[in-house]
Amino acid sequence: MSDPRLIIALDYAQPQLALNLAAELDPNLCRLKVGKELFTRGGPHLVETLQQRGFDIFLDLKFHDIPNTVAKALAAAQDLGVWMVNVHALGGPRMLAAAREAITGPTKLIAVTILTSMGPDELQAIGLPLDAEENVLRLAGLAHEAGLDGVVCSAQEAPRLKETFGKGFQLVTPGIRPAWAAKGDQTRIMTPADALSAGADYLVVGRPITQASDPLAALQRIHAEIA
């Protein structure tokens, strides 16, 4: 595949475990996501090593700070050569605009809207009284106005986001669980095939791959499920 739709979440505490998994996967079938814990432990060297093995990297650090600080962090991520990086849409319009200006190359810039682990009670507790979909739509609108490439969202919000912002606005969807996998701690989930049908562009998959006895076979099984 020239543009793999699956992004495997390397949610490991130790860099060597991430490297071990990468050795079992095919970069033609997936990309890899490096999050906060793994990047804090493995740093840029880990990202470079994974890239040298042929994988595109989604650097999932959800930058959320004053505009100048976020812009400088994104410039550093771009220099690292990552395929995709993200910020948090709750940073507001000025931060999102500064983030967009900081990315001058091919690195994709997307925004996090509402985490898929958050339910109505948690949203209300932090002062977001609307339901998840309305909050996602509002935050995605800020990202779209700032010129970002897309957003992280639940696949359940994908149809409305595509209708509102168009096919070019790319949707990255965590909370993806194959029909044969456990639900885990996500509250808004969807199968890979259903998520793509709903309008998702890229699917983030974690434990169904990382905890499989044969990760490559699990990856191939997801591709078969999509087909």
pLDDT in tens, the chain (227 residues): 478 999 999 999 999 999 999 999 999 999 999 999 999 999 999 999 999 999 999 999 999 999 999 999 999 999 999 999 999 999 999 999 999 999 999 999 999 998 867 888 888 898 888 788 888 899 999 999 999 999 998 888 899 999 999 999 999 998 888 876 655 555 556 889 999 999 999 999 999 999 999 999 999 999 888 87
Output phi, psi for 121, to 5 deg. -65, -40
Residue 68 annotated in ligand binding:
yes
Residue 183 annotated in ligand binding:
no
Q: What pLDDT is recorded for position 107?
A: 98
Nearest to 32 by CA among 87, 83, 76: 83
Q: Of the residues 26, 56, 65, 72, which is catalytic? A: 65
Q: What pLDDT is recorded for position 67?
A: 98
Does the annotation count 167 as an active-site position? no
Residue with structure tokens 């940073």?
91
Measured distance CA(216)–CA(106) in Å, rounded: 28
Residue 94 annotated in ligand binding:
no
CA 175, distance to chain mean position in Å, is: 10
| DSSP letter assigned to residue 125 | H
pLDDT, averaged across the chain: 92
Residue 120 annotated in ligand binding:
no
Question: Cβ atoms within 10 A of the Cβ of 156, count?
Answer: 19
Based on DSSP, count helices (H) and strands (E) in the chain, helices before strands.
Answer: 10, 8
Does the annotation count 26 as an active-site position? no
Residue 67 annotated in ligand binding:
yes
Q: What pLDDT is recorded for position 120?
A: 85
Q: What pLDDT is recorded for position 181?
A: 65
Measured distance CA(84)–CA(43) in Å, rounded: 16
Residue 72 annotated in ligand binding:
no
Distant-in-sequence, close-in-space partners of 109: CB < 8 Å, separation ≥ 6: 74, 84, 85, 86, 87, 99, 100, 103, 148, 149
Question: Mind listing the domains of the chain with CATH numbers?
Answer: 6-226 (3.20.20.70)
Residue 11 annotated in ligand binding:
yes
Q: Of the residues 56, 60, 149, 201, which is catalytic? A: 60
Does the annotation count 60 as an active-site position? yes
CB contact at 8 A, 63 and 39: no
Q: What pLDDT is recorded for position 188?
A: 54
CB contact at 8 A, 1 and 198: no
> Phi-psi bin for 75: left (phi > 0), alpha (psi -120 to 50), beta?
alpha
Q: What pLDDT is recorded for position 183?
A: 56
Nearest to 109 by CA among 78, 137, 133: 78
Radius of gyration of the chain (CA): 17
Residue 63 annotated in ligand binding:
yes
